[in-house]
Structure 1
Amino acid sequence: MKTYWRSLEELEDPRALRIREAREEARQKSLLYKSKEGVDAGNSRRDFLKTLGFSVAAATLVASCKRPVEKAIPYLIKPEEITPGKANYYATSYYDAGDYCSEVVKVRDGRPIKIEGNELSSISQSGTSARVQASILNLYDGARYKGPQKQNQPISWVDADQEVGQALEDLKSHNGRLVLLTQTIISPSTKKIITQFLQTYPNAEWIQYDAVSASGILTANQKSFGQRAIPDYRFDKSKVVVSFGADFLGTWLSPVEYTKRYTSARRLDDGQRTMLRHYQIESHMSLTGSNADVRFPVKPSEEAGMVLALYNAIAGAKGAEQFSGPGTTVDVTPLAKELLENENQSIVISGSNDENIQLLVNGINHLLGNFGNTLLWDSALLTKQGLDEEISQLTADLLAGKIEGLLVWGVNPVYDHPKGQELEAAIRKLKLSVSFSERKDETAAVCQYILPEPNYLESWNDLEPKAGFYSLAQPTISPLFDSRSVQESLLKWSGQEQTYAEFLKITWENEFFPKQNEYADFRLFWNYSLQKGVFEPGTTTTASFNPENLNAAASSLAAAKPGTEVVLYESIALGNGKYANNPWLQELPDPIAKISWDNYASVPVAYAEENGLQNESVIRINGLELPVFIQPGQAKDTLAVALGYGRTHAGKVGDGVGKNMFSYVTEKNGSRQYYFENASVEVASGTTFPLAISQTHHSMEGRPIVRETNLDEYLLKPDAGNELHEEFEKHHVTLYKEIEFKGHHWGMAVDLNSCTGCGNCAISCQAENNVQVIGKEQVRNRRIMHWIRVDRYYSGDPANPDVSHQPVMCQHCDNAPCENVCPVAATPHSDEGLNQMAYNRCVGTKYCINNCPYRVRRFNWFQYVNNDKFDYNANNDLGRMVLNPDVTVRSRGVVEKCSMCVQRIQEKKQEAKLAGRMLEDGEIKTACQQSCPGNAIVFGDLNNPESKISKLFKDKRNYHLLEELHTLPSVGYLTKVRNKA
């Protein structure tokens, strides 16, 4: 059996770590009420519990006697579509910084409260990401601008239009250069409006800017295929995937879409007996690398030599021309052989922004016959269109004073451009500077005018994320603040008195209505498209490969260099940092490091040993101090630091969290490079910086909780790796009478082959169930409140370990250890197999927490905080609008945990009862299940032998956590199967 470990300390001495963790937990518990309830930490356990029980019970009694007045104002004229207490659902679309997702938004009494993926979209296919889930909270962000401003003073829209319009005319009169700087625009209607604006002001130009750029792949594809776009990667049609540093399951291009396809090619249900084989060559341990079958840690500068060697090995076998260039010490012959054995059924990708590397990658895929099979141009990705050369020229012109006016929309170059400080000074000198930012950011702070756009949930829009694939966005709530769409501003300044909603509808009537023949009346087509959320007629595109640039690309590649290199990457939670003020994202632990509320320098294990570093030590990278996290799997002579932190003008949650690394982004071959070489690294002796590491909070005492095998063994023996399951089943002895569930018996199954560890489920659960945010200090104190956590376990060599991800929530045990010890019966068992919590009965003794072997129960003591710095989403009037009224908002001093979304169960049962029918299998979906991009979670009725959950529980791969305890969980896990290395 493999040895699994959560940290290097556990690998070195697991017993000592468990003792240390137990002592620390005891210390934290003793301090819990020292400041809040006047309990002295030196008091006895008996006194502590007496005071705890009295204080909480008394608080509950007072609260029940003096209940605050709740005011409810009825509708004078009730909107036809609204039934108080019943949710409405609206299809819309999310797009920001290259992230796209088609959504269905749940709205209760006029308030959007939950986002789900749109199952009618062929792109996102009902999946979401953590950032998409958390975007609902951005709507209620107190850092949003409340209305138009001029020089930080309020101004009316009428005055703003008059003054900005006059300034635009002045620039036009003397041909003063005006730049409209935006993120990548994928809205067809918006592009038409921008075109009209540029026609009105011929002195203006439009530049698209991506903070994390794909310029290298765009320019390479332009040269190789005449297409300045990104092909559609069909991982579901692939047998072999080779990725050079592309975190396609985490942050690269279209991770929700790619996760759906990737996991579908690795599932082993419905008789599937083959599995996509995944190679990852990368520098830092990414989410994608943690899921790979084979992973090679390499320095960023070594990638070029490996790509060229792989190209030459394949070209040599195919009789094609080979090229000279930088060499590599890695033997890629076996990899080339496997790719050649899977021609037309493989994908080779690179996350590099170097055009020359991307040209060679195109050459590899062309030699393998992948274009037209696993890489398609018919549905090219359009979410990244910014060219770094244009941004470099714009920066030079701004600094040289050649530009007089700047309109900034959806981007923040003062923060995320390497020359941000210089740009700040240049923008202050402009004759006209306008920011359309919805919320505080560093660029808006230095602009003359701030004319805020509404949140996307308050807006009309259309999107074309892939060629021929369109989606609509519609308002789900009236604007909370005095904002206006940028499209409407551009129309007004172009001399058109027209709302964007009207313009959008006309565009669809003229351009998209003729592309279909299902509806003869435009009104029907429009209503249908709006209701469905997507319109996907598709396109037909052909592109031939041009090999002329390969020789020049190979000769332009630089050889690997000695010295330390630093990789800059997007985090799963914060991305480029635009929504750093979102507390849900700040508190989401990194899937690998399990750290929240900071960025840090990931260092290799050997490097840490050589330099005497520990977690939370401090090093200086080119003079910038960063805390250390020792990362197993980090490539030799490399460090890694996340982008998106170090904001100075984001809001009270995001300001001052972490360090800004965008200033360290370099440029090479005309494109921005997200690593730098020859880094100067010094150890700040005697200095430490606290990190909120949550993985080591939950120990399972070394018992087998992750079970795995390889595909060869699985095909020979379906229960391979899961032999313990039958052993435990045979030897169960219990004093309890077997429980009989006469109606429903709810259960859940998690396929470890499909769970990538992305953390989407944690945020989805948080949004659905009103889970509290507690802040960095309390996360460090082992009080993180997430109802579902995704544990990460290493196994094997610390220099390059295997990684396993396992979601853990309340197991809803039929023999639940928590139920017997509760002195007030606050955690009973339902007749449908759910372990329930009666919050108004709980007095917070926490006996249940101590008796739960799965460590999944949470003590909510942090409901109200006096310090405004930690006034998170549940503690202010605006933030409370996101709360789900179907779920009890817990008062301080009670235990809470996963309820299997009992509110959703009851809702669907009631619907079926009113309709006079039986519940259908799959009709009830928990929050974590519904939004999972990997389809890893299944929920259903175990008493229905035809249900999917029943069949999965009978699968030879199914097992339960800690089966030796005979708690009889209602949650099962399917053994992880890897391809044999």
Structure 2
Amino acid sequence: MKSYWRSLKELEDPKALRIQEAREEAKQKSLLHKTKGSSTANSRRDFLKTLGFSLAATSLVASCKRPVEKAIPYLVKPEEITPGKANYYASAYYDAGDYCSVVVKVRDGRPIKIEGNELCPISQSGTSARVQASILNLYDGARYQGPQQAATTISWSDVDAEVTKILKEIAARAGRTVLLSQTVISPSSKKIIQQFLDSYPGAEWIQYDAVSASGILVANQKSFGQRAIPDYRFEKARVVVSFAADFLGTWLSPVEYTKGYTAARKLDDGQREMLRHYQLESQLSLTGTNADVRFPVKPSEEAGIVLALYNAIAAGRGGEQFSGPQTAVDVSALADELLAARGKGIVISASNDENVQLLINGINQLLGNYGETILWDSALLTKQGLDSEMEQLNKDLLAGKVDALLVWGVNPVYDQANGAELAQAIQKLKLSVSFAERKDETAQVCQYILPEPNYLESWNDLEPKAGQYRMAQPTISRLFDSRNVQESLLAWCGSPQSYGDFIKSVWEQEHYPKQSTYSDFRLFWNYSLQKGAWEDPRSASLTYNDAWLAEAAGKLTNTKSGLEVVLYESIALGNGKYANNPWLQELPDPVAKISWDNYASVPVDYAEENGLQNESVIKVNGMELPVFIQPGQAPDTIAVALGYGRSHAGKVGDGVGKNLYPWVGEANGGRQFYLEKATIEVVPDAIYELALSQTHHSMEGRPIVREANLDEYLLKANAGNEIRQEHLKHSVTLYEEMDFNGHHWGMAIDLNSCTGCGNCAISCQAENNVQVIGKEQVRNRRIMHWIRIDRYFSGDPANPEVSHQPVMCQHCDNAPCENVCPVAATPHSAEGLNQMAYNRCVGTKYCINNCPYRVRRFNWFQYVNNDRFDYNANNDLGRMVLNPDVTVRSRGVVEKCSMCVQRIQEKKQEAKVAGRMLHDGEIKTACQQSCPGDAIVFGDLNNPQSRVSKLFRNERNYHLLEELHTLPSVGYLTKIRNKA
């Protein structure tokens, strides 16, 4: 039987690890009871003895001193608001290159949940963890509450008068004003920017992305005459080769790519073909964990491998071959497979070297992929910044060649290599303005801080892909005295106008005439607003130019010797803009399962050779970093995440991790996200504690992941799942068989479609008011997420296979937790749900100890209004995100997944009022609705025609720990790999 392991310690000695974990749990319990001044310092007996008097006394005091509060009903109820009933608004999220069409759930004027918009062909109802967590950014205490000048409050009218005066003076003397922004994909914003540039001669607009796609843009300009990113259609592909592109995690459009990728790997409805995925990379990325075949390589090796692959394919197609750096990697078999799948392959690279990207374009052209799996009709527009332009601006700022800088949506003082020097240069400018919504390092050194509203508070229009327009609308009145950047620019142009009115006029003049469905603009506008989208299909026929290939091949460099440091975006924090979001900080990394820090991922062999352990400390080029031994890390490489080390983000984000942006280099006009010839020094006896959560929940070595290869599955439908019949044959029970006369709710999870992205954990957290507890408590084994994504390794530690498995409460029909509760706080419902009666629970934790799946959580959270515990639920602003349909649990009770019972009851009530039966798929749990891979299906097991029933009858379906005969209501479909 295949062996699975969660950590290297478990691989070496599983029994010793389990003993260590048990001792660690006992140690934490002991420390808890010894803590002085804690509410748990007294024994439970003392608590129960004083319970009667204490509660009575508290009630008496409260009744005497608490003021009378009167509820005042609406005199005239707003038509759109029904108290207790949610409204939903179509909108769109876009920031730092991340785009997603969304639907916002609003309760009594408060946005409380983000869902994907199923009408959008790009994100297709899916979201990412950052999109889910963006709802919390609205209620971030680090947001600026009004315009400031030199840390002093100022009125908007005074701002307009002063800034306009300075801008006119600069223009009059032919000075230079620069508007520096992230990539702008709003057509209306671009018109306003152009109006601003026309009003102030000498003004210019520069876009840049902290983690850019500059190399792709420059290469495509040369190859096709278009500075854009093509539309990659993974659902049409049969072979995908990726060079370090984490397209399922952070690269370009991961939600969209996950949809296509998983669609090409599903084996439903008799599908017998499956995409094969090759990944060549240094650090073990989320995409790499899902690959069928993975090659660990150094970053400097990539160019030689790309050239070798191009030459091998060119040889097969009778094309010209080029000389350049050599590689020891044999790509002949890979080239043959790509040639056999001509027109059904995709080759991509995350390199920012335009020469590498030119060769990638040449490979795809030789394979006939353009027009088939790679399209230009709907080019991706979310990253348009050129690194060369930002590099020149850096030089000009330091040389004093800029008079005014207007900073919008970017943070160069933090994410540029020379950030400290830029901060000094900005402070010397005649005019510096930051439009930051929340605290950041660049705003801190600007003369004026003119905060823009959150995207949920404002109008906007977006064009994420050519011809695909999206609408964003306000879902709440502005919480603070903020103003759209567009309105500021219009005011400084002498034409003050609300941004919403400006957008409406643009759509009336430009989009409305292009359609014939609606004869009245108001109808067209309302339709577009309700749908959140309007399409203007385009056709692009671009001519490929191969004249640059020989020059590109000649500029490629050979593999470097020495250790190389890879810099990458994390799934949670991305480029670090929202480091103050506690949901994202506490989300475990999908691969390392570490939260609240970045760290140096080192190869297994390197750690053994240098005597390193997890949490050892090393100095990399003089910077101290904690060590995490990462299976799959390429030899002679170390990987560290960007986005950490913020110094001015807010109470949550300040001082978390180290800032690695100063290590970002430059090569061939683009930012280079790896460091060559790094020097490493071990810090003797130093320990840095990491919040590692993967080993918290052991299933005692029992196999819970099942898998098979595609060829085995095609021969036998239950391949990898043969043991199930043996378990069912020998199952015995003392329980009476349960009879569900109405509904019997169940869930099926397709392990072929789950990429392990963690989006479901944040979605569940937002829906069910799951608390953040902080790094210290995560280390103490108290992470609260109701759904966790277990990550298992198998095979060679130097390059293991990886399996991801979402685990939540299994809602067992023979639930071991139910019989042991002394206060009957864990009843079983008539519809098959294992419930929690919070007001009954006294925190004995018997249910936790009796659960074989380790999915019940004891609430350790402290509601304390101080800096140490100041997460979102510990302040009035942050608590606005709480879902009123779900109980906010107090400290000392057990909680767990409820299958979103509030959503079940809501849809049952709607069906009852309408006098109809529930439709299959009408009820969607939070994790299911937001999953970008469509891996989760929820429904009624008593309905034989429901999707979940059909999946339960699938030969691939199995249940966790079937030998225990707990009869879970959650089933898993065996993972099928497609190895050659």
TM-score category, normalised to shorter length: over 0.9
Q: Report the CA distance between 1:497 and its aligned residue.
A: 2.2
Deviations 1:556-583 (A, max 9, x none): 0010011000000000000000000000
Per-residue CA deviations over 1:333-379 (Å, capped at 9, x if unaligned) read 00000000000000000011110000000000000000000000001
Query: 1:2 maps to what in 2?
Result: 2
- Residue of structure 2 equivalent to 1:444: 443
Contact (CA 8 Å) 2:865, 2:874: kept in 1 or not?
no
Native 8 Å contact 1:653 1:869 kept in 2: no
Q: Classify 1:73/1:307 alpha carbon distance in 2 versus 1 (closer, same or farther; 3 Å).
A: farther
What's the offset of the Cα at 1:160? 0.7
Change (3 A) 1:39 1:93: closer
Amino acid at match of 1:5: W
Asked if the contact 1:37/1:55 (under 8 Å) is kept, the reply is no
Tell me the secondary structure at the aligned position of residue 677 of structure 1: strand
Q: Could you tell me how far 1:55 is from its partner in structure 2?
A: 7.6
Residues 534-683 of structure 1 aligned to structure 2 (within 5 Å): 534-683=533-682
* Structure 2 contact 32–40 (Cα < 8 Å) conserved: no
Q: CA deviation at 1:236?
A: 0.2
Residue 317 of structure 1 is matched in structure 2 by: 316
- Secondary structure of the residue aligned to 1:464 is strand
Answer whether contact 1:309 1:332 (CA < 8 A) is retained. yes
Residue pair 1:591, 1:792 contacting (<8 A) in 2 also: yes
Alpha-carbon distance in structure 2 between the residues aligned to 1:740 and 1:57? 40
Structure 1 residues 756 and 244: CA distance shift in structure 2, 3 A = same
For 1:161 and 1:50, locate their aligned partners in 2 and report how far apart those are by CA, in whole Å: 66
SS at match of 1:565: strand
- CA RMSD in angstroms comes to 1.4
Residues in 2 aligned to 1:457 and 1:131: alpha-carbon distance in whole angstroms: 15
What residue number does 1:34 align with? 34
How far did 1:516 drift? 1.6
Separation of aligned partners in 2, 1:216 and 1:622: 27
Shift of 1:799: 0.0
Tell me, in whole angstroms, the C-alpha distance in 2 between the residues paired with 1:811 and 1:352.
Answer: 42
- In structure 2, the residue matched to 1:746 is 745
Secondary structure at the aligned position of 2:440 is classed as coil
Distance, in Å, in 2 between the alignment partners of 1:59 and 1:378 is 70
Separation (CA, whole Å) in 2 of partners of 1:12 and 1:58: 54
Could you tell me whether the CA contact under 8 Å between 1:762 and 1:786 is conserved in 2?
yes
2:518 corresponding residue in structure 1: 519
Relative to structure 1, the CA distance from residue 526 to residue 701 in structure 2 (aligned partners, 3 Å threshold; closer, same or farther) is same
Aligned to 2:869: 870
Q: Partner of 1:567: helix, strand, or coil?
A: strand
CA distance in 1, matches of 2:898, 2:34: 30
Cα distance in 2 for residues equivalent to 1:36 and 1:469? 60
CA contact (8 A) 1:53 1:845 kept: no
Distance 1:495 1:15 in 2: 74
Q: 1:57 to 1:785 in 2, by over 3 A?
A: farther
1:76, distance to aligned residue in structure 2 (A): 3.6
1:553-952 equivalent positions in 2, closer than 5 A: 553-865=552-864, 867-952=866-951
**TM-score using structure 2 length:** 0.98
CA deviation after TM superposition for structure 1 residue 202, in Å: 1.4
- Percent identity reads 77
Work out whether residues 857 and 894 of structure 2, in 8 Å CA contact, stay in contact via their aligned partners in 1: yes
Deviation at 1:724, TM superposition (A): 1.3
Q: 1:866 offset after TM fit, Å?
A: 5.1
Do the aligned residues in 2 keep the contact of 1:792 with 1:805 (CA within 8 Å)? yes
Quote how far apart the aligned CAs of 1:56 are. 8.1
Once the two structures are superposed, residues 901-952 of structure 1 have per-residue CA deviations (whole angstroms, 9 ceiling, x without a partner) of 0000000000000000000000000000000000000000000000000000
Deviation at 1:980, TM superposition (A): 2.4
Instruction: State the alpha-carbon separation in 1 of the partners of residues 203 and 49 from structure 2.
Output: 70
3-state SS of the aligned residue for 1:162?
helix
CA displacement, residues 732-773 of structure 1 (integer Å, 9 cap, x when unaligned): 111111000000000001000000000000000000000000
Give unpaired runs (5+ residues) of structure 2: none
Q: 1:864 offset after TM fit, Å? A: 1.2
Is 1:499 the counterpart of 2:498? The answer is yes
Alpha-carbon distance in structure 1 between the residues aligned to 2:296 and 2:53: 57
In 1, Cα distance between equivalents of 2:711 and 2:436: 54
8 Å contact kept, 1:49–1:845: no
In the aligned structure 2, how far is the partner of 1:899 from the partner of 1:175? 65
Q: What residue in structure 1 maps to residue 120 of structure 2?
A: 121
**Does residue 260 of structure 1 match 2:259?**
yes
Separation of aligned partners in 2, 1:121 and 1:50 = 58
Q: Residue type of the partner of 1:454?
A: P
State the one-letter code of the partner of 2:84: G
5+ residue gaps in structure 1? 42-46
**CA shift in 2, pair 1:400/1:57, >3 Å:** farther
Cα offsets for 1:502-554 (capped at 9, x unmatched):
11000001111122221111110000000000112221111111000000000
Q: Distance in 2 between matches of 1:490 and 1:867?
A: 39
Contact 1:418 1:663 (C-alpha < 8 Å) held by counterparts: yes
1:16 aligns with 16
**Partners in 1 of 2:635 and 2:677 — Cα distance?**
14
| Contact 1:604 1:633 (C-alpha < 8 Å) held by counterparts | yes
Deviation at 1:77, TM superposition (A): 3.0
> Structure 1 residue 863: deviation in Å?
3.4
CA apart distance, 1:74: 3.0
Q: What does residue range 357-368 of structure 1 map to in structure 2 within 5 Å?
A: 357-368=356-367
Separation in 2 of the partners of 1:54 and 1:149? 56
Partners of 1:751 and 1:55 lie apart in 2 by: 51
Measure the CA separation in 2 of the matches of 1:364 and 1:85.
57
Decide whether aligned partners of structure 1 residues 566 and 51 sit closer, same or farther in structure 2, where only a CA change above 3 A counts. farther
Change (3 A) 1:927 1:38: closer
Per-residue Cα deviation, 1:165-186 (whole angstroms, up to 9, x for no partner): 1111111110110000000000
Aligned-partner residue type, residue 16 of structure 2: A
C-alpha contact (below 8 Å) 1:653/1:870 kept by paired residues: no
TM-score by length of 1: 0.98
CA distance in 1, matches of 2:178, 2:508: 31
Residue deviations 1:679-719 (CA, integer Å, cap 9, x gap): 01110111110000000001001111000001001011000
Label 1:2 to 1:59 Cα distance change in 2 as closer, same or farther (>3 A). Answer: farther
- One-letter amino acid matched to 1:610: E
The answer to whether the 8 Å contact 1:57/1:843 transfers is no
Given that 2:276 and 2:979 are in contact with CA atoms closer than 8 Å, whether structure 1 keeps it comes out as no
> 8 Å contact 1:643–1:660 — kept in the other structure?
yes
Q: Deviations over 1:379-430 (max 9, x none)?
A: 1000000001100110100000000000000000000001101100000000
- Structure 1 window deviating more from structure 2 (533-542 vs 715-724): it is 533-542
- Shift in Å, 1:35: 2.8
**Distance in 1 of aligned mates of 2:725 and 2:59:** 50
The answer to whether the Cα contact below 8 Å between 2:769 and 2:886 also exists between their aligned partners in 1 is yes
Cα distance, 1:50 vs. partner? 3.5
- Shift of residue 16, structure 1, vs aligned partner: 0.1
CA distance in structure 1 between the aligned counterparts of 2:251 and 2:699, rounded to whole angstroms: 34
Three-state SS of the structure 2 residue aligned to 1:856 is coil
Kindly state the Cα deviation for residue 725 of structure 1 after the two structures are TM-superposed: 1.1
Deviation of residue 861 (structure 1)?
2.3
Q: Supply the distance in 1 between the matched residues of 2:443 and 2:95 (Cα, whole angstroms).
A: 17
Tell me, yes or no, if the aligned pair for 1:56 and 1:844 is still in contact at 8 Å: no
Question: What's 1:134 paired with?
Answer: 133
Within a 5 Å distance, the mapping from 1:288-437 to structure 2 comes to 288-437=287-436
Task: Return the offset for 1:38.
Answer: 5.3
CA contact (8 A) 1:53 1:844 kept: no
Is contact 1:56–1:843 with CA below 8 Å preserved after alignment?
no
- Cα distance in 2, alignment partners of residues 610 and 76 from structure 1: 75
1:44 paired residue number: none
Distance 1:51 1:814, change over 3 A: farther
Q: Which amino acid aligns with 1:265?
A: A
Contact kept in structure 1, 2:566 and 2:638, CA below 8 Å: yes
- In structure 2, do the counterparts of structure 1 residues 38 and 881 end up closer, same or farther at CA, with 3 Å as the change threshold? closer
Question: How big is the shift at 1:194?
Answer: 0.3
Distance 2:56 2:375 in 1: 65
Distance 1:506 1:705, change over 3 A: same
| Residues 785-821 of structure 1, C-alpha deviations (whole Å, 9 max, x = no match) | 0000000000000000000000000000001001000
Distance 2:815 2:691 in 1: 31
Q: Secondary structure at the match of 1:714?
A: helix
CA distance, structure 2, for counterparts of residue 56 and residue 838 of structure 1: 20
How many residues end up aligned between the 2 structures? 976
